[in-house]
Amino acid sequence: MRLLLIRHGQTPSNVAGALDTARPGAGLTALGHAQAAAIPDVLGTERLDGLHASVLTRTQLTAQPLAAARGLDIVVREGLEEISAGAFEMQSHAEAVHAYIESGLRWAGGDLHHSVDGGETGAAFFDRFDAAIAEIADTNDAAAVVSHGAAIRVWASTRAVNVASEEAVQRRLMNTGMCVLEGDPDSGWLLQRWHEEPLGGIELEDRFAQDVTGEPEEADAVIAEDSRR
Ligand SMILES: O=C(O)[C@H](O)COP(=O)(O)O
């Protein structure tokens, strides 16, 4: 199947740099709605049998313009939600952000027992995300899935057999960025495309936002800079 994993549009938490991973989570900013509105034109005539979103409000809002343009229902699925920040929920300080990013890096390196304090393990994350994707693959040859920055980066970089996981997991994935994979749960997945910027173009990127799951390397660089002071 062809799987389009699209990160949701910008939220106030993405602007503030807060680890917002609980339900129902934030809605979209005005820019987030504009990013979502740009998606249908950019996807053009790309085949889509289904449109899926996580249980968090921001992915469903992001999927709405595409659903309207294609006449598709948004199927809300458990398992596609953001990686839990545990005890760091809604925190934006450097240690919290570092621990959250570091966790995904460790999972990509195979340390699946690790979790942030109070959060889920890598094993639990992959179990639920794999299960959701397997359900989608059962009934769709081509699907768009609107999910989250850390979840998409970690899952795509680890499940794609043609990339080095620990490098790919650190790539940028801005709001409404997209990873395209082809394959299936049995034969495996190939990464076809990693579109870092918003699908609607660089002019829909907010250069001043503290988007911690969109830019893991930049967030870590800021942390390193802070710790030298
Ligand atoms: O940590 C964040 O940046 C978010 O609050 C969680 O990731 P998301 O914005 O991609 O859902």
Rounded to whole angstroms, how far apart are CA atoms 32 and 9? 4
User: Could you tell me the distance, in angstroms and rounded to a whole number, from the CA of residue 101 to the centre of ligand 1?
Assistant: 11
Give kind and range of the element (H or E) at residue 135.
helix 122-139
Query: How confident is residue 219, by pLDDT bands cut at 50, 70 and 90?
Result: low
Residues acting as catalytic residues = 8, 82
Pocket of ligand 1 (CB under 6 A): 7, 11, 13-14, 18-21, 82, 148-150, 211-213
Q: Assign 218 a pLDDT band (cuts: 50, 70, 90).
A: low
Please give the average per-residue pLDDT across 202-225, as a whole number. 73
Q: Counting atoms of ligand 1 from 1, which one is nearest the CA of 82? A: 11
* In the predicted structure, residue 212 carries a pLDDT above the cut 60: yes
Q: What CA–CA distance (Å, rounded) separates 32 from 34? A: 5
Ligand 1 centre to CA of 38 (Å) is 20
Structural domain count, the chain:
1
Q: What CATH number is given to the structural domain containing 59?
A: 3.40.50.1240
For the segment 78-82, the average pLDDT, to the nearest whole number, is: 98
Q: Give this complex's ipTM.
A: 0.90
Q: How many CA atoms lie within 13 A of 94 on its CB side?
A: 12
φ, ψ (nearest 5 deg) of residue 5: -100, 110
pLDDT at 226: 47
Query: Domain range spanning residue 218?
Result: 2-227
- Reported pTM: 0.94
